[in-house]
Amino acid sequence: MKEQDTLNTLKGVGDKSTALFSKCHLYTLGDLMEHYPRYYTRFPAPVSFSELKEGESAAVIASVHSRMTIKRTRRLKVCVMKIKDDTAIREIAWFNMPFLANVFHVNQKFVFMGEVVRKNGVLTFQHPKYYTLEEYAQLQNTYQPVYSLTEGLTNRFFCKCVAQLRPLFQQKLEYLDADYRREQGLMSLSDAFENIHFPLNEESIIEARRRLVYHEFFRFFHYMDSLKEETARQPNSHVIADSNKSRELLSHLPYKLTNAQMRTLQEIMTDLKGPYVMNRLVQGDVGSGKTIVAVLALVAVAEAGFQGALMAPTEVLANQHYETICELTRPLGIRCCLLTGSIKGAEKKECCRRIAEQDVDIVIGTQALIQENVNYARLALVITDEQHRFGVRQRERFLQKGNHPHVLVMSATPIPRTLAMMLYGDMDISVMNELPANRLPIKNCVVGQNYRPAAFRFMNTEIEKGHQVYVICPMVGESETTEAENVMDYSEKLSLALPNARIATLHGRMKEEEKNSIMTAFAKGETDILVSTTVIEVGINVPNATFMLIENAERFGLAGLHQLRGRVGRGEAQSYCVFMYGKDSDKIRERLEVLNQSNDGFEIAREDLKMRGPGDFFGIRQSGEMDFKLADIYQDASIMTLAHQHFQELKESGVDFCAYPDLKWQPEQTLAI
């Protein structure tokens, strides 16, 4: 058995499950090993109804008090039943599970387990799991891993597959010596894999995770180091002088650059004409105006007779950049083209021809820009927008499209300089810590769902002023197991409440073409309200949008919420953001309150970190930075530093890392958009 073996070598895995696994980007045994649990189900000791606490996960032994009744709503079958223990009688409900009526008989005892919610003023369960007393006794105090999978793959089946991998865990080659591990409290790689998938207790999960996070960072630094050759300071073979066209563009802009933009632009221009190839990271909070700085650099490159390319993580964003950049550069006689995944056939061929024959100066697109069959005639500058959404491998491929082109990466993720230096190797860093002067700070509020009618009224006044609105829901469609708001049902609800508003919906399951046309219509002001999932999180810029309502805000990480909020407050009008929670608890409100208090990405990231406990990491993650599966660059900053130091030490002492195949970095980038 080897890690490279395909999944059909496992017992019970045939063509059908192989196909399902590939949907989750799992192809080999090694992939499966590194598909870590998303969280663990715990089976706490049962308590009575009177002891329940809102928002916690709990179990109660109760007997069935009344037969199940099934109420049909338009879309749902709501199955309701009363259960009873020594302290109370409570109503519990499931959705769309009418067969349960045959499972429960009056007076029978079961253990009901789930998250405690408040319904009609009392604490109860919704959609609880249920077990016979014997079943529960076996499970109590264990930790059952729960994996993110796709429909058709059950968690149970997945666990069975992972169980077959246990011999592989034992074969892991250890690259850290025992003394060092003991000193630093790092378990062996073998034990870490064993414990993350088959934990004995909470402590073993925390320790296993710590080692695997260390492993991710160590492997990352090793990979970065192997790239050193390519990224080492190269002499500048594309010297780009000060540009008249950039200056002209600047003088026609309807605004003045901020000091931070000015400084960054100067740093870039100095690099471009300097003795070495540029290798620069621009870090600027949402709305700080990174795009125009990139455009000014691209214009200078075009004027000097070279090509520049800008890569964005989503088609929607690439399209938007294309529109903006065309408009800005057309008067200067600069030619742009767009290349994305949905551009196919003859159109794509023509696009590739233009790129190869330098019939175009600026190329804008998605990862399609770095496909094998795209060849650039004179590529001198590559820019990645929202770099944190890509992996290092993309950055490397992009680089190879030219002959040592200048590199500019832009990110809205606020990370401290010390961390940025580890993660971005030897890049120079420009920080844009200033918002354009014409901006009014966004007004925020954190409220419960009872505020919704008021929010709708407010929305309406904004629309009447000619402004536009985003509503963010966590789900695309109705789900059987969660009550969170979904885009489909929500737009119906909204159209009843605001019959005159023009409402559009947007979510990740739509075809790219469809997403693009909806986004374009919204940008042109043809729709008033966009009900969307977080697909709009990255980069989207519609300055006329002044109101954002985020439903079930408790389901998102603070950094993600901050990025989302950054979609408003991009023009001169006062903007508003309403964070609405679906579930209420002190902890949830306290967390969201951070956003209410601060509009500074750095501060928000710091506060978020402070609030999280050691066992919190399987909850809401920051927006999965880089390619890391477990590691969180904020929370795990100290492990990152440790791994970085030790990697340098080992390298200097001459360790041959080739002996450890595990250190080969094979990130398969999957953009969840």
Residues near ligand ADP (CB under 6 A) are: 255-258, 261, 284, 286-292, 412, 436, 438, 539, 541, 543, 570
Give the C-alpha separation, 111 to 109, whole Å.
Answer: 7
CB of 420 to ligand ADP, least distance (A): 17
CA distance 299 to 250: 11
Q: Which value, in Å, is the radius of gyration of the alpha carbons in the chain?
A: 27
Q: Which is nearer to Mg ion, 31 or 385 (CB)?
A: 385
Region from 157-165, 489-497, 537-545, 600-608 binding Mg ion, contact rule CB under 5 A: 537-545
Q: How far apart are CA 118 and CA 204, in angstroms?
A: 33
HSE, side-chain direction, 13 A CA sphere, residue 654: 0
Q: Give the phi and the psi of residue 165 in degrees, each rounded to 5.
A: -85, -5
Rounded to the nearest whole angstrom, what is the least distance from the CB of residue 270 to ligand ADP in the complex? 20
User: Of 53-61, 106-114, 533-541, 641-649, which part binds Mg ion (CB under 5 A)?
Assistant: 533-541
Residues 227-286 that bind Mg ion (CB under 5 A): none
Pick from 313, 436, 539, 569: which binds Mg ion (CB under 5 A)? 539
Q: Is 641 helix (H, G, I), strand (E, B) or coil?
A: helix
Judged by beta carbon, residue 127 or residue 570, the one nearer ligand ADP is 570
User: Using an 8 Å Cβ cutoff, are 567 and 595 in contact?
Assistant: no
Nearer to ligand ADP, 388 or 404 (CB): 388
Residues 470-499 close enough to bind Mg ion by CB under 5 A = none
Rounded to a whole number of angstroms, the minimum distance from the CB of residue 320 to Mg ion is 9
The span from the CA of 385 to the CA of 408, in Å, is 9
d(CA 137, CA 557): 35
Of the pair 539, 569, the CB lying nearest Mg ion is at 539
Q: Which is nearer to ligand ADP, 281 or 580 (CB)?
A: 281
> Cβ closer to ligand ADP: 199 or 436?
436
Nearest to 93 by CA among 553, 488, 581, 483: 483
- 414 touching Mg ion, by CB under 5 A: no
Contact (CB, 8 A) for 348 and 339: yes
CB of residue 323 vs ligand ADP: minimum separation in angstroms?
12
Cβ 340 to ligand ADP, closest distance in Å?
Answer: 19
Residue 113 to residues 77, 90, 127, 160, 273, Cα–Cα distance (Å) = 21, 13, 9, 24, 65
**DSSP notation for 211-266:** HHHHHHHHHHHHHHHHTHHHHS--B-SS-----HHHHHHHHHSSSPPPHHHHHHHH
- Cβ distance to Mg ion smaller for residue 386 or 528: 386
Choose the one of Mg ion, ligand ADP, none that binds residue 180, judging by a C-beta under 5 to 8 angstroms depending on kind: none
281 binds, among Mg ion, ligand ADP, none (CB under 5 to 8 A by kind): none
Instruction: Compute the least distance from the CB of residue 199 to ligand ADP, in Å.
Output: 41
Closest distance between Mg ion and the C-beta of residue 291, in Å? 5
Cβ-Cβ contacts under 8 Å for 168 (sequence gap 6 or more)? 1, 2, 3, 29, 33, 193
Rounded to the nearest whole angstrom, what is the least distance from the CB of residue 405 to Mg ion in the complex? 21
Of 325 and 412, the one with the shorter C-beta distance to ligand ADP is 412
The piece of 198-206, 340-348, 360-368, 536-544 that touches Mg ion (CB under 5 A) is: 536-544
Amino acid (1-letter code) at residue 620: I
Instruction: Tally Cβ neighbours within 10 Å of residue 359.
Output: 13
What is the nearest approach in angstroms of ligand ADP to the Cβ of residue 257? 5
Q: Which long-range contacts (CB under 8 A, 24 or more apart) does 267-272 make?
A: 267/428, 267/430, 268/293, 268/297, 268/408, 268/430, 269/240, 269/242, 269/243, 269/297, 269/300, 271/406, 271/428, 272/236, 272/238, 272/239, 272/240, 272/297, 272/300, 272/301, 272/381, 272/406
Q: Out of Mg ion, ligand ADP, none, which partner does residue 23 contact, by CB within 5 to 8 A per kind?
A: none
What Å distances lie between residue 638 and 7, 583, 642, CA to CA? 35, 33, 6
Looking at the Cβ atoms of 119 and 247, the one nearer to ligand ADP is 247
411 binds, among ligand ADP, Mg ion, none (CB under 5 to 8 A by kind): none
Quote the least distance from Cβ 632 to ligand ADP, whole Å. Answer: 23
In the complex, the smallest distance separating the C-beta of residue 571 from ligand ADP, rounded to whole angstroms, is 7
Q: In this structure, are residues 109 and 120 in contact, taking their beta carbons and an 8 Å threshold?
A: no
Phi, psi (deg, nearest 5) at residue 458 = -60, -45
Identity of the residue, 62 or 407, whose beta carbon is nearer to Mg ion in the bound complex: 407
Residue 257 interacts with which of Mg ion, ligand ADP, none, CB < 5 to 8 Å by class: ligand ADP
**187 vs 412, which CB is nearer to ligand ADP?**
412
Residues that bind Mg ion (CB under 5 A): 539
